[in-house]
Amino acid sequence: MSAKDSMAKEYFADNARFADLCNNVLYGGREVILPENLKERNTTEVLTALGLDKKTIAVQKLRDIFKNASIKYTGKSYVVLIGVENQSDIHYSIPVKNMFYDVMAYGNQVKETAKKHRKEKDTATSDEFLSGFTKEDKLIPVITITVYLGTKEWDGPRRLSDMFGDVDEELLPFIPDYRINLLAPREITDFTGFRTSIRQLFEVLQNAYDKEKMQEVLQNDEKFSNVDRETVEAINLFAGTDIDIDEKEEVIDMCKAWEEQKNEGREEGRELGERQKIISLIVKKLQKDKSVAEIADDLEEKEEVIAPIYEAALSMKPDYDVEKIYELLEKNKKLA
């Protein structure tokens, strides 16, 4: 399992974040699913079937996250099984993958119901006995949400029919379709419905491709001044940022950390520019056949400072590429 897979599973398994995610995808941000009404379920789906050789075949799949949700809404109570599949990359067969998970979840419900009936011997007809399911038995609905944690636009299929080639239009009504429930950060138009810090994660993922937009988001949303450590770690991993995290702090001011990082970058840029300027001056004097001592005297620098640059420049003769000379000096510094 990759670092991104592990991080995503651990991050969204938290009931508060899981509920926030589900409420935004399923209820438009209304707080319907509550963290305390979520119960962890076994993420391993095992479905058995009888093969052509009459032997039992077992198929096993491991979901990312799977929870039982008890929902009280509009004066009624409901139970739903909700799975979350995290994708750090675009998956071009995701409808088939998710459909398989859902079918296995329904198949397991039928299997457990049939087992119960066999044990209690309470089926009333031969049809019910053969089905393992009675007219009164009901399935618990299964919903799978795909969370895309990449920074690119999602260009993968959104339903099974997107994966078909040319199909006779007259046949389409007879072909079951399957639609994925996709949350892609670049497609979110309103973040106000999010109540946990997954809002900050998705906002950064939406704008990670553009540093100016990222700066604007960090400056305009005060919530970035108080972000939990786990979310900052997730942002660093999925968005490719390098926000400094103090090991002693559980809450990070991302606005401040981002600004400090920018300032460090400017300082490094200035240092690089000054270093390359010195290299360029030494190269010009070297081309006039001046010695280390003469160059040191001209630039009012110590000979031990000029000498390694002089030697590195000589090795790049006759091109004297300033950037390559700098890279060689940095490499030699690391080897020293």
Q: Is the pLDDT of residue 267 over 60?
A: no
Mean pLDDT of 125-129: 93
279-294 pLDDT tens trace: 888 888 888 888 999 8
Q: Which residues contact 71 (CB under 8 A, 6 or more apart)?
A: 32, 33, 37, 77, 78, 79, 80
Share of the chain above pLDDT 90, in %: 50
- The predicted structure's pLDDT at residue 50: 45
What is the pLDDT confidence band of residue 202, given thresholds at 50, 70 and 90? very high
Q: Is the pLDDT of residue 149 over 90?
A: yes
In the numeric block, the tokens 């940022």 are attached to 241
Please say whether the dihedral angle defined by the alpha carbons of residues 62, 65, 70 and 73, taken in this order, is positive or negative. negative
Task: Name the residue with higher pLDDT: 58 or 91.
Answer: 91
Q: Is the pLDDT of residue 59 over 50?
A: yes
Q: What is the mean pLDDT of the chain?
A: 86
- The predicted structure's pLDDT at residue 270: 61
Q: How many C-alpha atoms does 216 have within 13 Å on its Cβ side?
A: 8
**Could you tell me whether strands 76-87 and 142-148 are parallel, antiparallel, or unpaired per DSSP bridges?**
parallel
298-326 pLDDT tens trace: 887 888 888 989 988 888 888 888 888 88
Say whether 121 sits in a helix, a strand or coil: coil
Mean pLDDT of 269-279: 72
Q: Which residues contact 221 (CB under 8 A, 6 or more apart)?
A: 200, 203
- The predicted structure's pLDDT at residue 46: 59
Q: Which residues contact 19 (CB under 8 A, 6 or more apart)?
A: 33, 34, 35, 38
Task: Name the residue with higher pLDDT: 229 or 267.
Answer: 229
What is the pLDDT confidence band of residue 109, given thresholds at 50, 70 and 90? very high
What is the pLDDT confidence band of residue 61, given thresholds at 50, 70 and 90? low
- Within the chain, where are the H helices? 3-13, 15-26, 94-120, 126-131, 198-207, 211-220, 229-239, 254-286, 292-299, 303-315, 322-335
- The predicted structure's pLDDT at residue 259: 65
Say whether 144 sits in a helix, a strand or coil: strand
Amino acid residing at 230? E
- The predicted structure's pLDDT at residue 265: 46
The overall pTM is greater than 0.85:
no
- The predicted structure's pLDDT at residue 334: 64
Cβ-count burial 235-267 (b if 16+ within 10 Å, e if not): bbbbbebebeeeeeeeebbbbebbeeeeeeeee
Q: Is the pLDDT of residue 55 over 70?
A: no
Q: Longest C-alpha distance within the chain, in Å? A: 107
**Could you tell me whether strands 227-228 and 251-252 are parallel, antiparallel, or unpaired per DSSP bridges?**
antiparallel
